[in-house]
Structures are given as C-alpha cells and as structure tokens.
Amino acid sequence: MVDFRLDGHRVLVTGAGRGLGKAIADGLAEQGATVYGTSRDAATSQQIADRYGTPALSVEMTDPDSISEFVAALQLHSGGIDMLVNNAGVNIPKPAIEVTNQDWDTVFDTNLKGSFFLSTALARSWLSNGTAGSIVNIASQTGIVAIEERAAYGTSKAGLIHLTKILALEWAGNGIRVNAVAPTFVRTEMTESTLSRPDWAAELLGRIPIGRFGEPEDVAGAVAFLLSDAASLITGHTIAIDGGYTIR
C-alpha cells in the first residue's frame, strides 16, 4: 500500500497560524513535508516560521499582484513549492438582508479570488518546469448545503468547490491534481461565536448524524491523504468531512 508520507515535498499552507490551518500544517509536517505557512500578521508569521523552521511569510490574499510577487520569491528561496493548501478564509455570519457590499467583497476576495490567483501563480511555474503539483482547497459543507447566516461564505465556498473541478480538468494532463475538503463545523477560533450559543449549537449538532462537531485533526488527515501518493488517481473531487451532515 502507498502510504501518506510526504517526505521530500515542500507545501505552502495559507492561514497556518491558528485553528484549522495550524492543525493541517502540523499534520503535514508530521508526515515529513517541509511546511511553509502564511499569515497576514507579522508576529504570527514569525511564530509559524519558528515552528516549522522555514522563513516568515506574509501575503495579502486579496491582491493578485502581491500574490504573484510572493510566489515568485517563495519558489526561488524554497527550492520549489510543489504542494498547496488554500486554507486562509474569512466568514462574516449574518442574515442575508444585512450583508453589505464590503462584507461580500471581503469574503469573496479572500476565500475565492485569493485561492484562485495563488493556485494559478503556483501552477504557472509547475507547468513551465514539469512539476506534478498537488492542491487541496479548504471548502465547507456550506458550499454543498444551505445554512442560515452564510450567504456570502457559503456561496464563496460553493464557488471554490466548482473551481476545484475546473482547475483539475485543465491541469490533469500535466500531472497536477486539485481536490478539496468540505468540513462541517470544526471547533476553532473561527466557529467559537457560533458554537458558544447553546441553542444554535444544539440545533446544528442535531443535523450531524455522527453526533459530534469536527476537530481540526479530522480535517488534517483528509488533507494529508489527498496530497499524498495514496490519492494519485483522485482529482477534481471534494471530500465532505461532515459527520453525515450533507447526507440529507
């Protein structure tokens, strides 16, 4: 059996400073990958660098020009990133009629636009030098089923799921795989405001047949699998890590 080991690979994980991103980065490092992690915050970027022994990296995910410059420098100094986890994301939960233009743009620019331009910037170098790269996008079950107060977030994640298919189709012939995971509510700083509301948390838990919320490690294992050679024939797919939430 091909295992999940990632020895010799260099992976970029966006938003690796806390929560889901940190757990994913830790898991990939445990599997032998050299991890490069990003954060918008300089202090957090340094903490990530100290944790994995790689340079401190900051990138503005909403700015395509900044992303292009970042990737060019990173490829030069890292010796060549060959794996990417598009984890950085934001959510501004509120009823649809309260969502502002700024809310919408903030969510889409980070969750979808940033992931697209980071993926294409890396793929451009992979296509030119024949690298068989692998990308995993962190989508969400809200991109599969409708959930209250997630108009912008859910729509951006639905877009990310479809983008995964398109990029996988375009690049499959070059050995580049693109997949996604769609987690349920995972206990992180991002979901704290939702899961700290007892009535709402109970309602959401009742929708999960397995009967528990996710933990960051639940997602990290699936990401490691999709990046690894164990998933070498898988591309263009989204794995729902949802305890059965999207069955119905």
Q: Which entry of 36, 52, 153, 245 is annotated as an active-site residue?
A: 153
Neighbour count for residue 97 (Cβ, 10 Å): 6
- Burial degree of 181 (CB within 10 A; 0-12, 13-18, 19+): buried
Dist CA 30 CA 28 (whole Å): 5
- H/E stretch holding 124 reads helix 115-129
Q: Are 35 and 16 in contact (CB under 8 A)?
A: yes
According to DSSP, residue 17 is labeled T
Contacts of 41 (CB under 8 A, 6+ apart): 17, 58
Does residue 153 have an active-site annotation? Answer: yes
Q: Which residues are catalytic?
A: 153
